[in-house]
Structure 1
């Protein structure tokens, strides 16, 4: 926690940013001489909390700041707000050692009177910024598939279960505290839940988030829904209807999660869900069942199929085409045709040599001249066949997974698409030890080499084998290290052991000065000839 400041000591915010007004907070203010408020993204009025996207001006990265303000009552400060804020700060300090993939990591806790704090701010908490979209932005584009909604909420339910086991609550009953990451996970992005919350409130919040993803309507506080930009769920009989009554195709298990957590049907209704562990177990079973039934056509759920789906809806407009996919298909067919011609030509040469006369007639030569006394058969092809369709995700143990939604472009076989890191104003390891791409194959592969197409000259990469896609950096084994040149760089992996997961770990970015960034157009792994 920052050192205390004497009343006479002036505040000197960094980088020329203005000091905050003692009576208010607004965009451009600096909290604790370090966190510059950029955009207010929400508020929990019952907690006296404002949610801000801010910049850590020391580490030059985005962070999320929850600011506690005095609650106005009839135009005068609430006399209980200081005690309320103090309780919230104490609970945040207790939660400082709690970390889970379903929650943004807590970075700093600031109490009232800390150095550089406005007089009207009773405390603040700083967490990692969760990239992606708010709950309202997520449902704004239309209905979300029920199974996708279950997968979104599953990690959040696991986080709530873990938190409750440590005597903590998350405060996930407020829609603006939740954000959806680019890879489709719901996370608690803003901390400092109001005093008096219990694990039961978190359980209701889990049900409310799932209900919103299924129906695009928030089933709890109507005022919270309005401030979050969400529709409030209809209450024709004093309580929201079950999701299955709002849209078709909702699995009975997800219907049960929502009705059980929200108490739809009253306290005496069967199937009441009281714990986050029960929510997590039910969602786990739904997701596992979906994985088991992937080979069967899905039940129609009110959403249209997308071009990448295995099962396509025949009612879909046949005139709708994906130009990029069509182009890639044509390229693939062209490559296949060339490969077939090469194979037929090679077979023709071998058959000619086998059935030709043995009387020392002229040798059949392809692409060269015959030399007496030498074997003039065609030279063997270059060792290794490219491995198609590896999976990829951003590997960033201490950051926010730079441009995670675009990482598949680095392995899509298309040199016109690319993935790039964020732009860092300081080179590694000033802000983090590195960043990488974890690639996974369908099965264990013996590799011969890797080619990296990149315009970022001077980038240094380490190629590391990993025991799993979720392995820690310390569990990986170094296979090769190479400095990339602009264009194509080939890295030999001929001496490596068979692997299923390979980490391309960037330890030095391209560029320099305050513009440190690496762009990767394509990673191509080649299988060794056996």
Structure 2
């Protein structure tokens, strides 16, 4: 039995949103959230739109809460503009475009995406590996930009995606689940690549129309290459390493996926050029051997590598010249005949100008002694501008083991290009008289601020900077000019380690030392 609305049931011809949107065709159901995905007609503006309708009982408090959270995240994404994501036009909630009689918790209205349903795309046969790589590469670019803006897209259901006429994958039905994380977006990229290569869905909660990916007796997803033998090893490993949660070599960021796909694209281009060279300009020796020559590819990456090589050679040459100079100086200094005539220090002293009076050193600040480190009751990611980086690994920063680390996401541009910073907030049972913060980390160049706040969720402009500095070596100690009473201490990263296009920082351990 269909869900009843003011215009009837959720069926073609029915109307929702106080009669404004007439349903045309259903494109799927995300059972995890009761999200029904429809194409509809906007009767006021006379255009087609994509509707993500959250079906549920408004009297169910938990369902209503989850629905509100989804609508909030969708509204937050309305300001995000990228060709890989359908633009959110409106968000309707109970009492604001939806009546309680419609059996809906909310509706996300987005622009309609022309093209092909992703499930239909692989219904007959999987995509060619090169085509699959290009499609996922375009989708990963939108995910990377969204994550750098602090947004979760919620692409972890294949019926929410469509392929545009120009061959790009696009999130056509926005509205991430309330508990969807950045990591879920990354895993979804691996699952989409797996789907394009094999025609099977590797995550839970997929549509019934798609067969599930096969699993080993231990429960692990079988590699795409084992399902379809023609899949290249690089793409097979990329899909599998992205889907898997743990273990060595797992891929956890969209930036890492883009790096692998860039390499795959370079290898494919190089292979194609070699083939063309062999067909068009190959020379055959008398013994039948074929020699091929590949023209150099003058791309940005090659230029960077050339510049780096030239720089290394210049530095090496300067070093050799400096060494030769030092050897020459040492040679003449060791030769008594080269030392010159003796100098009369008395005569020299008489000709010298009188010295300026010696400056008196200001009195030094009394040294503050510190006690034993005070462990916080809890630690969380502090990111007032969006979803946090590495939420699951935040406790590693106070677990007493410097080899386990909290790591930021990878960014293609340095702060504050996409956000002003990211950090960790430590909460203590009661205020401590904070004197120093000791940071164990291997992230040279990272700039941090120690801030204190009145609450763990305070806005950045409501916090106060009490110390700052740059991380160097394996351990850095930031001292406060004066001990400060604080219950909520924020270690705020304002500059990341690394260089373009890979910026990221990690913290192995934080120690909070009070004054005695």
TM norm structure 2: 0.50
TM norm structure 1: 0.48
